[in-house]
Amino acid sequence: MRLPSSYLPGKSRSAVRFAIIGTTGMFVQTWFFMAALYLMNQPAKGALLYYVAFTAGYILEMIPNYFLSNWYTFGTKPSKKNASGFLLARAINMGIQLGLLPLMISWLSHWRDDYISFVVIFIGGCINYLVCLLFFKKPKETE
């Protein structure tokens, strides 16, 4: 059985698959973010609390994302090169997300916390895809 994304052209296919994996990761990260805030029994207004919960969700989501990015999104195998590239892309992504988080909290203070995290993760994810393209490349096929 072919997956629906397999009918797309090659360049579009990896973007759609990245979006599928990224959306799943976004929900895992946001769920953990909100659960951590709830379990800490604090109103989600302390900056340190936001960072701790957001970072924990990010790390939890990152591990399966690496393997799914290899196998499903880019059709590659895990390697030292793409692992280091993935970690670099995720470090850039994390910096972007942690930089955007306080800005979005102040700009969108009338929004729910989970909606703000979706916006931050979406923006970081788009940039993350572009960086990942540099490191996840299939080996050239020999003729």
Q: What integer is the mean pLDDT of 98-116?
A: 81
Whether 45 is covered by a domain: the verdict is: yes
SS3 9: coil
pLDDT in tens, 25-68: 878 888 887 887 777 766 555 667 777 887 888 888 888 888 88
pLDDT at 63: 87
Whether 2 is covered by a domain: the verdict is: no
Long-range contacts of 9-12 (CB under 8 A, 24+ apart): none
Whether 140 is covered by a domain: the verdict is: no
In which domain, by residue range, is 69 found? 8-132
Whether 118 is covered by a domain: the verdict is: yes
| Residue recorded with tokens 């805030």 | 37
pLDDT at 141: 44
The number of distinct structural domains making up the chain is 1
Whether 1 is covered by a domain: the verdict is: no
**Is the pLDDT score of 98 beyond 80?**
yes
> Which tokens hold the place of 59?
């790390």
- pLDDT class of 3 with cuts at 50, 70, 90: low
Whether 3 is covered by a domain: the verdict is: no
- pLDDT class of 19 with cuts at 50, 70, 90: confident
Asked if 125 and 89 touch (Cβ cutoff 8 Å), the reply is: no
User: In angstroms, rounded to a whole number, what is the distance separating the alpha carbons of residues 93 and 140?
Assistant: 28
pLDDT at 76: 85
User: 78 or 54: whose pLDDT is higher?
Assistant: 78
Whether 116 is covered by a domain: the verdict is: yes
Q: What integer is the mean pLDDT of 113-141?
A: 76
Whether 39 is covered by a domain: the verdict is: yes
- pLDDT class of 142 with cuts at 50, 70, 90: very low
